[in-house]
Amino acid sequence: MFGRKKDEQPAQGAETKTEGETKSYAKPDAPAAPAAGRPAMNPDIPRRSPDMSAFARPAAGAPPAPRSGEAEQKKLIVGRDIFLNGEIRTCDSLVVEGKVEAVLSDCRAMDIAGSGEFRGSAEIESADISGRFDGDLVVRQRLTIRASGKVLGKIRYGQLEVERGGVISGTIEALADSQGGGEGGSGSGSV
């Protein structure tokens, strides 16, 4: 082909090409090519479009569909270095890692992390406090104050649990309908 004249003989060991024969450039140990009668692919078959139903948006005004096997939960997380000011209503769970100044109502559970601070008033079912709460707090069921937690202000609770090192100070009283059976009482002080 290039640089070789037609009259020259091929070098010893080189393959000669005869008419109707094709030269194979595949490695000797490579798998065999598909059968000559079978095409490699059929370009007439259209490609299937991807399933985008997972990304579909619900119709305007329609509530989002809950995931299978998971109950619908309204959870608000205030992350570190976030400051939230206002009124919080109808959430199932509030997690405070930053700072919140708010009125919290119609909420089931509150968790204040070690870095979290809450100032204001809250009326909830249960609370777990590792950070700081300052204000009016009504916990209808169980109030848990962790070793690093501080609760200051007017506190009313159903059941009270304070770990060693936890601080509770202000006006403290048990709710009348509590089922604690002798847990807590009225008074003030710190633990």
- Residue 121's domain comprises 72-174
Residue type present at position 166: G
Nearest to 117 by CA among 87, 89, 135, 97: 97
Question: Is residue 129 domain-resident?
Answer: yes
C-alpha distances out from residue 116 to 50, 142, 175, Å: 44, 19, 26
In a domain? residue 12: no
Q: What is the pLDDT of residue 180?
A: 47
Q: What is the pLDDT of residue 74?
A: 86
Q: What is the pLDDT of residue 103?
A: 93
Distance CA 163, CA 38 (A): 76
Question: Given this model, what pLDDT does residue 1 score?
Answer: 55
Task: Tell me whether residue 17 is in a domain.
Answer: no
3-state secondary structure 122-166: EEEEEEEECCEEEEEEEEEEEEEECCCCEEEEEEEEEEEEECCCC
pLDDT of 73: 80
Residue 66 covered by a domain: no
Distance CA 62, CA 14 (A): 75
**Number of domains observed in the structure of the chain:** 1
pLDDT at 182: 43
SS3 state of residue 56? coil
> Over the stretch 85-141, which tens digit does the pLDDT of each residue have?
999 888 889 999 999 999 998 889 999 999 999 999 999 999 999 999 999 999 999
Q: Is the pTM of this model over 0.75?
A: no
Give domain status of residue 153, yes or no.
yes
Low-confidence ranges of the chain (pLDDT < 50): 68-70, 179-191
Q: Is residue 3 part of a domain?
A: no
CA–CA separation, 53 vs 73, rounded Å?
23
